[in-house]
Copies of this chain bind each other. A is one copy, B any other.
Amino acid sequence: MQSYYEMSREELLEEKESLEAAYKDYAKSGLQLDMSRGKPSAEQLDLSMGMMDVLNSGTDLSCEDGTDCRNYGVLDGIEEAKVLLGDMIECHPDNIIIYGNSSLNIMYDTIARSMIHGVMGNTPWCKLDKVKFLCPVPGYDRHFTITEYFGIEMINIPMRSTGPDMDMVEELVSSDEAIKGIWCVPKYSNPQGITYSDETVRRFARLKPAAKDFRIYWDNAYGVHHLYDIDQDNLIEILAECKRAGNPDMVYKFCSTSKISFPGSGVAAIATSANNLVDIKKQLMVATIGHDKVNQLRHVRFFKDIHGMTEHMRKQASILRPKFEMIIDTFNRELEGRGIGSWIAPKGGYFISFEALEGCAKAIVARAKKAGVTMTPAGAPYPYGNDPKDSTIRIAPTYPTLEDLKMATDIFVTCVKLVSIEKILGESV
């Protein structure tokens, strides 16, 4: 398709007029569509309803080692749950602590503990003048909210198609002792769907941090969330790679079943080195007697093993694939070559990111809103909600029905074109 930048002023005005007519029709129809939320749809949740049947009043609720899961105890989770989640994230069960229902909560706790008690004997961060975190952008807003809440300064690191800009990461991490961590969603990243390349992971594992207590916060939220059965991204396992590189303690890996079973009623975990586990358990044994073992057992009995989980995720994929493909197809058909934005077709995860012309994201989101389509607020994928170029828009295809999503995508594309033309016309004045 012809780039808008190659069109004459008259051609653009004509295009604008026809787009405005289409937009008005949408706006009049009183739609209420939502592309903002990274939530599974009811159809996806239905896939896990069998989980409600695996335990009943006649079931023996003791786990393999004989522990009665109904009672107190087992600080770090039942063994069979560690095995299942270990297989899910390619880590040894001994490197895992199973928590409650939320990996976000584990990350919060990890930062809180580092603030008050420090990391493996290092000075608690609350005693330091300055603590900084690196934030690959665009990224996950809730990560940034945690570090902001604790007064940690956030530094933007641009995302490339291979992951964060590693030149910048290496230089900053090795030169600034105040940098204590980096937020990563290494596979099917939120919001771009990028998987870190082998080189990126190897360079991560070989970082030489100025701060002894620097940790990589490796949020493996979408590790098994493939859209395709064969055409899947592969991510090098970071714990093993850090160990090989002589940095065994440098990473905390987080995961959960939130988008596998039920969000909010799943099981979350951390995987890390033996040294870090000792450090974490010192706190954990003060903070709780143990997490929900019955729910751990429920997950194990439902999925049985990693093959069961893989089969389950295949069913999820069959629901999600048409939604993702429809959006990418629409973008290809309507926006390809127009010169007004870019996107990546992800092979998994929960989001598509649209990179609009600079200064257009807020306007596009606002325009879509007026026509009844709610998008994630522009800026959300950046620390402090501040997208310096005002260009990134996160699209969440999972929650609406395919039909609703089609309509929403059409409206979105119309808004992208309209706002872009206005920008181009404004520039050419």
Residues on A close to B: CB < 8 A?
37, 39-40, 42, 45, 48-50, 52-53, 55-57, 59, 61, 68-74, 100-102, 104-105, 108-109, 112, 115-117, 126, 142, 145-146, 149-150, 258, 262-265, 283, 286-295
Minimum C-beta distance from A47 to chain B (A)? 11
Chain B's closest residue to A282 (CB) is B149
Set B57, B263, B264, B293: member contacting A49, Cβ < 8 A: B57
If A53-B57, A149-B286, A283-B149 touch, does A264 touch B45 (CB 8 Å cutoff)? Answer: no
B-side contacts of A48, CB under 8 Å: 70
Complex CA gap A71/B286 in Å reads: 30
Extra inter-chain contacts (15) besides given A45-B68, A108-B288, A265-B295, CB under 8 Å: A37-B72, A39-B71, A45-B70, A49-B57, A56-B56, A71-B263, A100-B100, A100-B101, A100-B291, A102-B288, A104-B288, A112-B112, A117-B149, A263-B289, A264-B289
Could you tell me if A42 and B68 are in contact, using CB atoms closer than 8 angstroms?
Answer: yes
Complex CA gap A294/B150 in Å reads: 31
Set B45, B149, B265, B287: member contacting A105, Cβ < 8 A: B287
Copies in the complex: 2
B-side contacts of A109, CB under 8 Å: 287
Could you tell me if B55 and A52 are in contact, using CB atoms closer than 8 angstroms?
Answer: yes
- 10 pairs across A/B with beta carbons < 8 Å? A39-B73, A52-B61, A100-B101, A108-B288, A116-B126, A142-B286, A262-B294, A265-B292, A265-B294, A292-B295
Minimum C-beta distance from A141 to chain B (A)? 11
B-side contacts of A264, CB under 8 Å: 69-74, 289-294
Complex CA gap A115/B287 in Å reads: 14
Set B52, B71, B117: member contacting A262, Cβ < 8 A: B71
B-side contacts of A291, CB under 8 Å: 100-102, 264
Complex CA gap A262/B69 in Å reads: 9
Complex CA gap A146/B289 in Å reads: 12
Set B45, B57, B294: member contacting A71, Cβ < 8 A: B45
Could you tell me if B57 and A50 are in contact, using CB atoms closer than 8 angstroms?
Answer: yes
B-side contacts of A108, CB under 8 Å: 286-288
B-side contacts of A37, CB under 8 Å: 72
Minimum C-beta distance from A49 to chain B (A)? 4
Complex CA gap A42/B66 in Å reads: 13
Minimum C-beta distance from A188 to chain B (A)? 18
Complex CA gap A287/B102 in Å reads: 9
